[in-house]
Amino acid sequence: MSRSERFLTALESGVVVADGAMGTELYRRGVSFEQCFDELCLSRPDLVGGVHRAYRDAGASLLVTNSFGANRHRLERHNLAGKVAEINEAAARIARGVAGDVCFVAGSIGPLGKRLAPVGRLTPEEAEAAFTEQILGLVAGGADILLFETFADLQEISAGLRAARDAAPGIPVIASMTFTDEGKTLYGYKPEEVARKLTELGAVAVGANCSVGPQSLMDVVERMLRVPAVKLMVKPNAGQPQFHAGRYLYLSSPEYLGETARYFVQHGCHLVGGCCGTTPEHVRAIRAAVEGLAPSRPEPTASIEVAEVAEAPGRATRRADDIQAKIAAGRFVSSVEIDPPKDINADKLIEGAALCKASGVDAINIADSPLARARMSPMALATLIRQSVDIEVILHLSCRDRNVIGLQSEVMGAVALGVRNVLCVTGDPPQLGDYPNAKGVFDVDSIGLVQLCARLNQGLDLAGRAMKYRTDVFVGVASNPTSADLETEVRRYKEKEAVGAAFTMTQPIYELDSLERFLELARPTIPVLVGILPLRNARHAHFLHHEVPGMFVPEEIRARMDRAGDKGPEEGVLIAQEFLARAKSFVQGVYLMPPFNQFWMGTEVLKAL
């Protein structure tokens, strides 16, 4: 009988005790979180093997390999994408060497670290290919089981199970997802839905790991047991982490984890262990607590699943004269950009918005900390302006500072506050700004953010399921007709259109040829607002042309600004007026960016209309 077959027999007949955390245990032994834990299988096999031995000696009968992030997408962050097979094979070989005939070895496979379409850009086929690479390495190294763990997206883990079915059909698969304290995954999947789907895809056991502490997972386990014939695994964290004296500490004691492990077995779990923060001492307590027990499946409840009330998603009404309606009616629209202040006083900006309103401007653009500089929240500034000035706002939303949960929350908050126009931008990297050591999020790029907004407009959540509300966001995107790589710019622009962009605002342009060339290549099917940044003086013109990526100021324009001398602002406005007069027939609106919040320059340009 093969080890894989022996594992299935053990799972069927009793309780399998899995090990505890690998990552936090390596951290506890002096490895920095900045290091690639998976690579330690090559450079520090003795250290990794030592962790496995400690868990084996504590009573674990299932050792999980140190390969959680060893897929091409996560490894490429450490310039190790070419070592997927080598790292995974080494990870399984190390665990196999420690396990001997005493323990089974589960090859750990975690999320890819990139979002799947439609929110992200990774296709299911690309995901399956990445999982296949990892699976083949783990099997070659001697893994008896494949463990997909800590997933939040049911579509992603489903791709992993399909890859396992095709690449290693004889290897049993365990599939585990992570849940919030509300009893759902971050993508909103319910426990019974997860258990049913993963069992259908061939998992011999399904369950929950990581998440929060044991208490929250008790409800998750009970709901999963509503699915007939399912075998469950649970590996909770040792409570919530606390940062103390420069280190992360998990506070749940070994005795507590042992008590909750006994509860899980008495409520139907066939496989118990620990996740983040658990140590060999926790595993020893778990082993002692469940020794001699057999899983006891409770009587199924009458209802398999609690049905949620189905309601038609509500959509808040828009103003009849908003910017979207004006464009639809064929009106040429105008917007003026305002950068949030670097302090907490917005009085001058509110005055500037009032000036724009009085001059006939249709909307105020509020940038989202451009150049990665710390500024007031754009949502806060939008609220302050709208409290004092009856003018529409186009809110810039950057992917730099928020994950997909935060981005969705921001869109929901904007709609609730009456802001219905959002410009989706990827955002400048933190290295450009005030805090170059800060970490950018970039969970998705601008294309993914457009997809997220489009789904919310359809009343769908990130998992593609109907919600009880839907937004009505006018989704905008940026485009750069003067890009040095115009082919890539046009391709990405078309992708933005394809996933739901409703209008585009260009980077500043100073000559008509660039605009016409972009329009000819991109052939926009959505309204275009041409970007115009009035030049303040000659230094400003040369700075933009020579030092700002993606900016092009023609030599003739720079020469005019050189000759203007002290009359630079007036000449800059005149140049902008001349360009707008020529460009007006090609576009549906103008996006003005007055320098240094000199709002009068923007309103003067509009006199050319």
pLDDT at 95 over 70: yes
Domain residue limits at 181: 3-290
462: CB partners within 8 A, 6+ apart: 119, 187, 188, 404, 408, 452, 455
Boundary (domain end) residue, out of 247, 273, 290 = 290
Split at pLDDT 50, 70, 90, the class of 298 is low
Mark which of 479, 496, 520 sits at the end of a domain.
479
Give the mean pLDDT of 512-524: 96
In a domain, 402, yes or no: yes
Q: CA angle, 320 as apex, 314 and 325 as ends, to 5°?
A: 100
Q: Is residue 590 part of a domain?
A: no
pLDDT band at 469 (very low <50, low <70, confident <90, very high): confident
Residue 248 belongs to a domain with what CATH number? Answer: 3.20.20.330
Q: How far apart are the first and last CA of the chain?
A: 83
Statement to judge: residues 463 and 334 lie in one domain: yes
Beta sheet of 173-177, edge-to-edge order = 16-17, 269-272, 232-236, 205-210, 173-177, 145-151, 104-109, 62-64
Residues facing residue 41 across a β-bridge? none
Number of domains in the chain: 2
Kindly give, in sequence order, each residue whose CB lies less than 8 Å from that of residue 508, ignoring residues fewer than 6 positions away.
531, 532, 533, 544, 551, 593
pLDDT score for 229 = 87
Closest residue by Cα to residue 20 from 209, 185, 204: 209
The per-residue pLDDT for 436 is 77
Question: pLDDT at position 404, please?
Answer: 86
- Is pLDDT above 60 for 211? yes
Residue 41 pLDDT > 70: yes
Same-domain status, 164 and 261: yes
Of 290, 305, 334, which marks where a domain is finished? Answer: 290
**Same-domain pairing of 161 and 268:** yes
Is residue 285 located within the same domain as residue 329?
no
**Least confident piece of the model among 177-181, 201-205, 279-283, 586-590:** 177-181
Return phi, psi of residue 195, to 5°: -60, -45
Q: 354 and 280, same structural domain?
A: no
Closest CA to 143 of 75, 65, 70: 65
User: How far out from the chain centre does Cα 472 lie?
Assistant: 22
Check whether residue 168 and residue 267 sit in a common domain.
yes
Residue burial 477-506, b: 16+ Cβ < 10 Å; e: rest: bbbbbbbeebeebbebbbbbbebbbbbbbb
Q: How does pLDDT run across 314-334, given as a tens digit for each residue?
A: 554 556 568 999 999 999 999
Report CA torsion sign: 352, 357, 360, 364.
Answer: positive
**Whole-prediction pTM value?**
0.71
pLDDT in tens, 170-180: 999 999 999 98
**275 shares its domain with 367:** no
**pLDDT > 90: what percent of the chain?**
78
268 and 334 part of one domain: no
User: Taking a C-beta distance cutoff of 8 angstroms, is the pair 557, 510 a contact?
Assistant: yes
Do 151 and 267 have their domain in common?
Answer: yes
Domain assignment present for residue 281? The answer is yes
Instruction: Tell me the one-letter amino acid at 217.
Output: L
Residues 109 and 249 in one domain: yes
pLDDT of res. 244: 54
Q: Is residue 18 part of a domain?
A: yes
Model confidence at 21, pLDDT cuts 50, 70, 90, reads very high
Mean pLDDT to the nearest integer, 277-298: 92
Q: How many Å apart are CA 435 and CA 427, to the nearest integer?
A: 15
Whether 180 is covered by a domain: the verdict is yes
Which percentage of the chain shows pLDDT scores above 70? 94
Residue 25's pLDDT is what?
A: 93
Q: What is the pLDDT of residue 608?
A: 83
Residue 399's pLDDT is what? Answer: 93
Least confident of 18-27, 131-140, 295-304: 295-304
In a domain, 44, yes or no: yes
Same domain as 272, residue 397? no
Asked if the structure places residue 585 within a domain, the reply is no
Under the banding of pLDDT at 50, 70 and 90, the label for residue 306 is very low
Among candidate residues 420, 423, 425, the one with its CA nearest the CA of residue 442 = 425
Question: Measured between alpha carbons, how far is 566 from 322 in angstroms, rounded to an integer?
Answer: 39
- Looking at residue 384, which CATH number applies to its domain? 3.20.20.220
In this prediction, residue 297 carries a pLDDT of 73
Q: Which amino acid is at 334?
A: S
Residues 191 and 224: beta-carbon distance below 8 Å = yes
Whether the bond into 118 is cis, omega within 30 of 0: yes
Same domain? For 407 and 450 the reply is yes
Cα gap 38→84, rounded to integer Å: 10
Residue 67 domain flag = yes
